Amino acid sequence: MTFMDRGSKPAVLVTGGAGYIGAHTAKALHEQGFLPVVFDSLSSGFREAVRWGPFVHGDIRDAGALADAIDAHNVKAVIHFAGLIEVGRSVVKPDLFWEHNVGGTVTLLSTMREKGVNRLVFSSSAAVYGQGGRAALETIPEAAPKAPASPYGDTKLACEWMIEAQCRAYGLTAVALRYFNAAGADPSGLIGEAHEPETHLIPLAIAAALGDGKPLTVFGSDFDTPDGTCLRDYIHVNDLAAAHVEALKAELAPGAYEAVNVGTGVGASVLEVVEAVGRAVGRPVPHSVGARRAGDPPSLVADPARAGALLNWRPVCSSLDQIVSDALRWERSPQYGAGVRGGRCGTVQTTHA
């Protein structure tokens, strides 16, 4: 029996549910008959992105606020996104990342235990792998060595260890999802991704093609990959959202802990992305090749077999053309325009590898 059997519309606390992946997951939960209760401090997410259930304004380091939200909404399970995500910032402010990401998760887990909530899906990242001594184009299974290349990755791995230990000790049942490159947007155009400043390839390539941004710089073309540019595993945010719902519904024994990659298993090169954006916009992306970006591994591609076997999950909308056309629709939507071009971000922040 899963917690789903206990109520007709089980309430799921979605910490960080006003952010990019959290908002898409809240929509997917709603569509699957759950009540997403978004708990967010709005330090990087946006109130406008909370559309599919109640909103609680709070910080995950605040045990009282978490306990009140769990009581008020009769919460049965938690999907935990809240945390800091900027890899570069984690290098200069590691203490902040440990306080928010690890400290916040300590508080969340003890509050869940106190309230008898024993089902968790945790937002982890392919950043837990780092380079890990892998051969250049190998896909990455969950058992691959863990060697995070940043304090951000360290905090995600530390949270995974802590959660696993609490599953063993207290009978918590948890799935950690290790995301590869989350991208795209919901086709509704209501929610999507925006960062300020933007650093991600797909939005920058779209802005360059639309003439809204600078020409794109391709960071290195001398990698040991088929066309010399980096390979990444781009996963549509709605496929990622669906993986969270499947992780929540999976029939797992009490005390089970699972870590699962969420990716397609297929890498796309920077130049392939540039071509796909050109096709979607109808104009080529102005670009030139520059130096490598520090810390970029040549290839980060998931072995997604475990997600298929354990969660019965497969990506259905993660072709590069679909990702890029949905990202383009979002960047042209009034919501994006009102947010980003109006001087603030729309639905911001994602957990990236």
Measured from the CB atom, the residue of 8 and 288 that comes closer to ligand UDP is 288
**To the nearest whole angstrom, how small is the minimum distance from the Cβ of residue 218 to ligand UDP?**
4
Measured from the CB atom, the residue of 166 and 350 that comes closer to ligand UDP is 350
Distance from C-alpha of 26 to C-alpha of 40, rounded to nearest angstrom: 12
Near ligand UDP in 46-105, by CB under 6 A: none
Measured from the CB atom, the residue of 275 and 296 that comes closer to ligand UDP is 296
Q: Is 296 in the site for ligand UDP (CB under 6 A)?
A: yes
Count CB atoms within 10 A of the CB of residue 284: 13
Distance from C-alpha of 227 to C-alpha of 220, rounded to nearest angstrom: 11
**To the nearest whole angstrom, how small is the minimum distance from the Cβ of residue 182 to ligand UDP?**
9
Nearest alpha carbon to residue 114 among 181, 164, 161, 166: 166
Residue in 6, 9, 47, 293 binding ligand UDP, rule: CB under 6 A:
293
Nearest alpha carbon to residue 200 among 324, 116, 29: 324
Measured from the CB atom, the residue of 23 and 204 that comes closer to ligand UDP is 204
3 state DSSP class of 323: helix
Measured from the CB atom, the residue of 78 and 328 that comes closer to ligand UDP is 328
Structure tokens at 299: 């290839």
Q: Is 200 in the site for ligand UDP (CB under 6 A)?
A: yes
Q: Total binding residues for ligand UDP by CB under 6 A?
A: 16
Binding part of the chain for ligand UDP, among 143-151, 195-203, 319-327, 329-337 by CB under 6 A, reads 195-203
Distance from C-alpha of 67 to C-alpha of 108, rounded to nearest angstrom: 9
169 burial via Cβ count (<10 Å: 0-12, 13-18, 19+) = exposed
Count CB atoms within 10 A of the CB of residue 200: 16
Is 20 one of the catalytic residues?
no
Distance from C-alpha of 196 to C-alpha of 329, rounded to nearest angstrom: 19
Q: Is 270 in the site for ligand UDP (CB under 6 A)?
A: yes
Backbone CA torsion sign across 187, 44, 198, 293: negative
Q: Which of 152, 179, 234, 336 is catalytic?
A: 152
Active site residues: 152
Sites of contact with ligand UDP (CB under 6 A): 181, 199-201, 204, 216-219, 230, 232, 270, 293, 296, 352-353
